[in-house]
Amino acid sequence: MNTLTVELGARSYPILIGAGLLTQASLLEQHIRRRDVLLVSNTTVAPLYAAGLIAGLPSRRVVEAVLPDGEAHKTLANVARLMDVLVANRFNRDCTLVALGGGVVGDMGGFAAACYQRGVDFVQIPTTLLAQVDSSVGGKTGVNHPGGKNLIGAFHQPVAVLADTETLRTLPDRELRAGLAEVIKYGLIRDAEFFAWLEANIEKLLARDAGALAHAIRRSCEVKAEIVARDEREQGERALLNLGHTFGHAIESATGYTQWLHGEAVGAGMLMAASFSRECGLISSEEPERLRRLLERAGLPTSVPGISSTQMLEHMSIDKKVQAGRVRFVLLKGIGASFVSADYPDAALQRALAAHLG
C-alpha cells in the first residue's frame, strides 16, 4: 500500500492507494469518528462494492443512500435527498459520510457533507480512475445547475481518501481511458519524467496492471496534492490543473455533454493547448507530436469533428477562466513545464483551433 498526505495544516489527510484496500476494514474504520455512517453510492457501484464495505463495519450504524447513475443526476435535488436521509435517521455533527463511486458520487457526497450541520466528516472511496487521480483529492465538491456544470459547490476536504485499484477491474474501458487523459495531464503540467514513464507504460495501464496503476495514481495524486497544498482555493497555481480544460469544456458544452466523456474532451483539449503553445513559439512541433502519439495509444480521440472555431471561441468565452474580458489558458514551455497566460496572439489561437477541428 502507498500512502501520501495532502498537507493542509489541521485539515491534512491521507490518500491510501493499493490493491484490495476495501477488504481491509480497519483502513476505513480508523477514519470514522463515531457510530453513524451514511454510505453514498449509485445504482451501478453499490451492487458491486457496498455490501463488502458495510460487512467490514459491524460496530457502526451504516445507512445506505443509493443515487441514480450519471452526470444528469448531479443535482441539488439529489443532495436534498441525502439531507432527508440524514435528518430522518437523526444523524448528528459527529456522523461520517462515505462516498463510494466515481466523481459524480464524490462531488455530491462531499457537498452534502459540507452542508449538513455546516460540515461533517467525509471519506472518499473513488472507484473510477478519474476519481482516484483527480476528483477525490483537493476538496472541491458540488453539483450542476441547469444553467451550467458545477455552478453550486463548496470547498470541503475529506478526512481520508481510499483508492483501491482492484475496483478499477469492473470499470468500462472507455472510462479507464478517459481517466488516463487526466493522468497524462499531470506529466504535462509538472513532470517530464512521469510523462516519459507513461510513454513506456501506457499498454500496462490499459491492461490494468496493478503495479503500473498504483504508480500512476500515486504520482498523479502527489502532483495534485502538492499544488492543492500551496493553493487550496485556486487563487493562482491550482489553475495549472486546468490544462486542456478550457478547450475541453468548450468541446463538452458545444456537444451538449452527450458525446464526449470529460477525460476524452480534456485529452483533445490538451492537444489543442500544446498546438497553441507551439503556435505561440513556446515549444517546437515535437512536443505536440509526442502528446498526440501518447493519446492515440491510450485510445483517446485527437481530433474534434463537427465543431467550428467560432463555436469553440463562443463556448470558451463563457468559461470560468475569463479575466478582464480575456480567456486565460494554461500553456506549455515544454513537457512538464506549464504556466497560465492571457497574453497571446489571437491568430495563434485561431491556427491551433483550425488544426484540430474539422
Ligand X SMILES: NC(=O)c1ccc[n+]([C@@H]2O[C@H](COP(=O)([O-])OP(=O)(O)OC[C@H]3O[C@@H](n4cnc5c(N)ncnc54)[C@H](O)[C@@H]3O)[C@@H](O)[C@H]2O)c1
Binding mask 129-148 for ligand X (x = CB under 6 A): -xx--xx--x-x--------
2-10, 44-52, 188-196, 245-253 -> range binding ligand X (CB under 6 A): 44-52
Question: If binding is defined by CB under 6 A, does position 104 make contact with ligand X?
Answer: yes
Q: Which residue has the cell 502538492?
A: 226
* Total of chain residues touching Zn ion, rule CB under 5 A: 1
Q: Is 90 a catalytic residue?
A: no
Q: Is 290 a catalytic residue?
A: no
Binding mask 218-247 for ligand X (x = CB under 6 A): ------------------------------
Among 122, 124, 72, 128, smallest CA distance to 95 is for 122
Catalytic residue among 177, 262, 321, 328: 262
Write down how long the chain is: 358
Catalytic residue among 185, 190, 219, 245: 245
Q: How far apart are CA 190 and CA 353, in angstroms?
A: 24
Q: Is 174 a catalytic residue?
A: no
Q: Is 242 a catalytic residue?
A: yes
Q: Is 233 a catalytic residue?
A: no
Q: Is 234 a catalytic residue?
A: yes
| Distance from chain centroid for Cα 139 | 11
DSSP-based helix, strand, coil % in the chain, nearest 5: 50, 20, 30
Q: How far apart are CA 110 and CA 157, in angstroms?
A: 8
Q: Is 215 a catalytic residue?
A: no
Binding mask 227-266 for Zn ion (x = CB under 5 A): ---------------------------------------x
91-99, 123-131, 300-308, 315-323 -> range binding ligand X (CB under 6 A): 123-131
Residue 145 phi/psi, 5-degree rounding, is -125, 150
Q: Which residue is nearest to ligand X (CB)?
A: 103
Considering only 42, 78, 165, 253, the residue that binds ligand X (CB under 6 A) is: 42
Query: Which grid coordinates are listed for 108?
Result: 455530491
Among 229, 264, 195, smallest CA distance to 15 is for 229
DSSP label at residue 145 = E
Rg (C-alpha) for the chain, rounded Å, is 20
SS3 4: strand
Q: How far apart are CA 49 and CA 71, in angstroms?
A: 20
Interface residue list for ligand X (CB under 6 A): 42, 44-45, 48, 69, 71, 74, 101-105, 107, 127-128, 130-131, 134-135, 138, 140, 150, 167, 170-171, 175, 262
Interface residue list for Zn ion (CB under 5 A): 266
- Give the catalytic positions in this structure: 118, 140, 182, 224, 234, 238, 242, 245, 249, 262
